[in-house]
Amino acid sequence: MVMKQIRSYLIAKSYDYAMYSTEKRCLQSWRKELLAQAGGDLLEIGAGTGVNLPHYPDKVKQITLSEPDGQMRRRLQRKTDHFQQKQLSITPWGVDTIEMPDASFDTIVSTLVLCSVPNLKTSLSEIQRLLKPEGILIFLEHVISDHPTTRIWQHRIEPIWGFCAGNCHLTRDTAAAIRATGLQIEQLIEAPMVGTPAFVQRTIRGIARKAVPLAGAV
């Protein structure tokens, strides 16, 4: 328990500093371009220290930030003090425990979070439930490598990496999991995350949409 709290404190304290160079070299511009497509009622899962906040366009009406980690949430709270022009709330929900009715959101945002959730399939089902018909999931995630040698290393180091980096998994095929949930991927860009080790370099980003239910479908 104490170990977990120390780890959580250290990760939250060092997160922005550790990501600074990668943010400048690629993530910031990816976030800006992706989040320009957000709108309406928005849920961001695993909002971390709030790095996406400056990129939300005016067409986003209401923002719900979910962040289960108390240390991250403290930092998030500080950042949101500068964004009072939007209707904004912070919750301690994990993605599997979002206390909102079905079809609550037009946009759900997940950036570098689906690697850390305990069960990818359950989390994506929950995202699917929470989206309105035609609503979109905006995602930016690091995924399993397409290089056989890197894959072998990803499998080897995943347990220790997960322990040090807040349950982060290295071997998830997140695009396949999104499709398996029934969300339709409309945009998919693959690119290496600059300035990171090979085992977290391969990323996917894009948009997946929830289909409108067919008339008469149960």
Ligand X SMILES: C[S@@+](CC[C@H](N)C(=O)[O-])C[C@H]1O[C@@H](n2cnc3c(N)ncnc32)[C@H](O)[C@@H]1O
Min dist CB 214 to ligand X, Å, is: 31
Which residue, 41 or 69, has its beta carbon nearer to ligand X? Answer: 69
| Interface with ligand X (CB under 6 A) | 45-48, 51, 66-69, 72, 94-96, 111-113, 116-117, 166
Nearer to ligand X, 118 or 133 (CB): 118
Assign residue 150 a region: left if phi > 0, alpha if psi is -120 to 50, beta otherwise?
alpha
Q: In the bound complex, what is the minimum distance in angstroms from residue 118's beta carbon to ligand X?
A: 6
Using alpha carbons, select from 202, 190, 52, 197 the residue that is nearest to residue 142.
202
44 versus 148: smaller Cβ distance to ligand X: 44
Shortest CB 15 distance to ligand X, Å: 7
Sheet holding 184-192, edge to edge: 87-91, 60-66, 40-44, 105-111, 131-142, 202-209, 184-192
Compute the least distance from the CB of residue 81 to ligand X, in Å: 18
Report d(CA 65, CA 72) in Å as an integer: 12
Measured distance CA(43)–CA(204) in Å, rounded: 20
Nearer to ligand X, 57 or 70 (CB): 70
